[in-house]
Amino acid sequence: MKLLTPVGVYRLLFVICRYGINLMALLKLAAGSHRHRVALSDDHETLTYQQLLDQAECLAVQLREQYGLGSRSKAGLLCRNHASLVKSIFALSMTGADIYLMNAEMSSDQFAQLLDAHAFDFLIYDEELTAFIRQSTFKGASVLSYHENLPAISNMIHGPLSRSSRGQRNSNSKLMLLTGGTTGRAKEVAHKPSLFHYLPPFSSMLERLRLLQYKTVYIATPIYHGYGIAILLLFVALGKKSVVTSIFQAEHACRLVREHQAEVITVVPLMIDKMLRASNSGGDLKSLACIASGGAELNPRLAEEVSAKLGEVLYNLYGTSEAGLCIIASPQDLDAASGTIGKLIEGVGLKVLDGSMHEAAAGVIGQFCVKSGSTWIKTGDMGYRDEKGYFFLKGRADDMIVSAGENVYPSELEHILFQHPFIEYAAVVGVPDEQFGQRLKAVVQLKAGTELNAETLIEWLRPRVARYQMPREIVFVDRIAYTPLGKVDRKQLH
Which pLDDT belongs to residue 49? 97
Percent of the chain with pLDDT over 70: 89
Which pLDDT belongs to residue 486? 80
Which pLDDT belongs to residue 201? 66
Which pLDDT belongs to residue 205? 80
Segment 247-260, tens digit of pLDDT: 999 999 999 999 99
More confident call, 14 vs 242: 242
Q: Is the model's pLDDT at 471 over the cut of 70?
A: yes
Q: Which domains does the chain have, with CATH numbers?
A: 6-191 (3.40.50.980), 199-348 (3.40.50.12780), 349-398 (2.30.38.10), 401-493 (3.30.300.30)
Q: Which residues make Cβ contacts (< 8 Å) with residue 141, sequence separation at least 6?
A: 67, 121, 122, 123
Q: How many Cα atoms within 13 Å fall on the side-chain side of residue 469?
A: 15
Which pLDDT belongs to residue 230? 87
Q: Is the model's pLDDT at 324 over the cut of 80?
A: no
Segment 64-99, tens digit of pLDDT: 999 999 988 999 999 999 999 999 999 999 999 999
Which pLDDT belongs to residue 181? 46
Tell me what the mean pLDDT of segment 469-477 comes to. 96
R_g (Cα) of the chain, nearest Å: 23
Phi and psi torsions of 294, nearest 5°:
-165, 180
State the average pLDDT for the chain. 88
Percent of the chain with pLDDT over 90: 64
Q: Is the model's pLDDT at 330 over the cut of 50?
A: yes
Please state, in angstroms and as integers, the Cα–Cα distance from residue 21 to each residue in 79, 89, 98, 200, 387, following that order. Answer: 25, 14, 13, 19, 41
End-to-end, the C-alpha distance of the chain in Å comes to 49
Torsion from C-alpha of 71, 76, 81, 84, nearest 10 degrees: -60
Tell me what the mean pLDDT of segment 224-239 comes to. 89
Buried b (16+ CB within 10 A) or exposed e, 340-364: bbbbbbeebebbbbeeeeeebeeee
Q: Positive or negative, the Cα torsion across 356, 358, 364, 365?
A: positive
Which pLDDT belongs to residue 183? 42
Q: Is the model's pLDDT at 402 over the cut of 60?
A: yes
Segment 137-187, tens digit of pLDDT: 999 999 999 999 999 999 998 766 655 555 566 767 888 877 654 445 556
Tell me what the mean pLDDT of segment 326-343 comes to. 93
Would residue 239 be called left, alpha or beta, if left means φ above 0 and alpha means ψ between -120 and 50 degrees? left
3-state SS string for the chain: CCCCCHHHHHHHHHHHHHHCCCHHHHHHHHHHHCCCCEEEECCCCEEEHHHHHHHHHHHHHHHHHHHCCCCCCEEEEECCCCHHHHHHHHHHHHHCCEEEECCCCCCHHHHHHHHHHHCCCEEEECHHHHHHHHCCCCCCEEEECCCCCCCEHHHCCCCCCCCHHHCCCCCCCCEEEEECCCCCCCEEEEECCCCCCCHHHHHHHHHHCCHHHCCEEEECCCCCCHHHHHHHHHHHHCCCEEECCCCCCHHHHHHHHHHHCCCEEEECHHHHHHHHHHCCCCHHHCCCCEEEECCCCCCHHHHHHHHHHHCCCEEEEEEECCCEEEEEECHHHHHHCCCCCEEECCCCCEEEECCCCCECCCCCCEEEEEEECCEEEEEEEEEEECCCCCEEEEEECCCCEEECCEEECHHHHHHHHCCCCCEEEEEEEEEEECCCEEEEEEEEEECCCCCCCHHHHHHHHCCCCCHHHCCCEEEECCCCCECCCCCECHHHHC
Neighbours of 406 (CB within 10 A): 14
Contact indicator for 302, 269 with CB cutoff of 8 Å: yes
